[in-house]
């Protein structure tokens, strides 16, 4: 696997992605692939085919020289260009991760962290950073495989699938809301065991795990962009108590909220300093 570039497209319109990076030519045993990841509902037109993207889904589109992606309406998506071995793509298709079809992302919070790693290392020239980028790509592919086996069939067969995807989008859009499983079940008119079964079948994770992941992601944004006290971050992210917030944050992020804020800001300051030196 070889990662060429990645980024985010934030404006509506048509973007042409070309294979113009500097590396040896692609042989018959390799294929260039464009990954498109969507965190919200989106309509994309790729190679004259229209895709209705649900929240937290992705596409894999192989191409030779260039490929165009047209955004229908104002939305944003992430993209990644990579080269994969042909036999690796065949193995992905054999387990249900088919090309030119939409698939579900099971662990958005983990993928968010990997995405940050890819963005930080993609343009680096030192061997260590490039190696980190390649490892990040390999881990991202593992997560895609984990959450996407048979998801094309799953989308058509899981009852209430449209309502579940709308619910998942609301959870990640409003993590601070009170998400009580019983209230959700009452709204859908189904039992708790049945709800757990179809949610897991649809997304490869539970609703409770998604609620926690959405709140962790929200708290990280607040820690990165504000000087709010930890208690205020906990409350605004939807956690019931500060103790529960700190326990979940350390479990999922690997450090306390205070340590995360300090490390993030130090890294941001170092990056700004390095950028200033390069401009001079």
> How high is the pLDDT of residue 192?
95
CB count in 10 Å sphere of residue 23: 9
Q: How far apart are CA 168 and CA 39, in angstroms?
A: 10
> How high is the pLDDT of residue 245?
96
Three-class secondary structure of residue 220 per DSSP: helix
Write out the two tokens for 149: 């086996």
Is residue 91 within 8 A of residue 56, CB to CB? The reply is no
> How high is the pLDDT of residue 119?
83
> How high is the pLDDT of residue 127?
80
- Over residues 117-131, the pLDDT tens digits come to 888 887 777 788 778
Helix-helix angle 127-148:108-121, to 10 degrees:
160
Domains located in the chain, CATH noted: 2-149 (2.60.120), 158-263 (1.10.10.60)
**Three-state SS annotation for 76-98:** CEEEEEEEEEHHHHHHHHHCCCC
Is residue 105 within 8 A of residue 147, CB to CB? The reply is yes
Ranges of the chain with pLDDT below 50: 24-26, 149-153
Write out the two tokens for 13: 């319109």
Phi-psi category of 48—alpha, beta or left, where left has phi over 0 and alpha has psi -120 to 50? left
User: Which residue has 């079948």 as its token pair?
Assistant: 201
CB count in 10 Å sphere of residue 57: 25
Residue closest to 221 by CA, chosen among 251, 242, 180, 249: 249
Q: Torsion angle of alpha carbons 3, 6, 12, 18, nearest 10°?
A: -40
Name 32's bridge partners: 63, 83
Is residue 17 within 8 A of residue 130, CB to CB? The reply is no
> How high is the pLDDT of residue 23?
52
DSSP 8-state assignment for residue 269 = H
Length of the chain as a residue count: 280
- Over residues 148-193, the pLDDT tens digits come to 544 444 555 778 888 888 898 889 889 999 999 999 999 999 999 9
Three-class secondary structure of residue 69 per DSSP: strand
Per DSSP, the residues of 22-46 read SSPPP-TTEEEEEEEEESS-EEEEE
Is residue 53 within 8 A of residue 42, CB to CB? The reply is yes
> How high is the pLDDT of residue 95?
77
């Amino acid at each position: 696997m070889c990662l060429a570039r990645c980024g985010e497209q934030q404006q509506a319109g048509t973007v042409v992605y070309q294979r113009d990076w500097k590396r040896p030519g692609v042989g018959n045993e390799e294929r260039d692939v464009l990954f498109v990841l969507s965190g919200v509902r989106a309509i994309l037109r790729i190679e004259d085919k229209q895709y209705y993207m649900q929240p937290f889904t992705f596409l894999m589109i192989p191409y030779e020289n260039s490929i165009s992606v047209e955004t229908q309406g104002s939305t944003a998506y992430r993209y990644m260009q990579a080269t994969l071995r042909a036999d690796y793509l065949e193995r992905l298709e054999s387990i249900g991760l088919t090309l030119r079809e939409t698939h579900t992302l099971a662990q958005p919070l983990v993928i968010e962290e990997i995405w940050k790693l890819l963005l930080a290392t993609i343009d680096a020239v030192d061997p260590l950073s490039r190696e980190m980028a390649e490892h990040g790509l390999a881990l991202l592919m593992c997560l895609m495989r984990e959450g996407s086996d048979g998801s094309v069939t799953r989308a058509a067969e899981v009852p209430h699938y449209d309502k579940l995807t709308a619910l998942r989008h609301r959870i990640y859009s409003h993590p601070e809301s009170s998400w009580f499983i019983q209230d959700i079940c009452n709204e859908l008119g189904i039992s708790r065991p049945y709800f757990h079964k179809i949610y897991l079948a649809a997304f490869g994770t539970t609703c409770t795990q998604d609620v926690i992941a959405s709140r962790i992601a929200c708290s990280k944004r607040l820690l990165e962009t504000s000087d709010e006290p930890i208690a205020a971050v906990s409350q605004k992210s939807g956690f019931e108590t500060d103790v529960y917030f700190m326990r979940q944050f350390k479990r999922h992020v690997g450090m306390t909220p205070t340590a995360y804020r300090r490390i993030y800001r130090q890294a941001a300051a170092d990056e700004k300093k390095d950028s200033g030196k390069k401009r001079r």
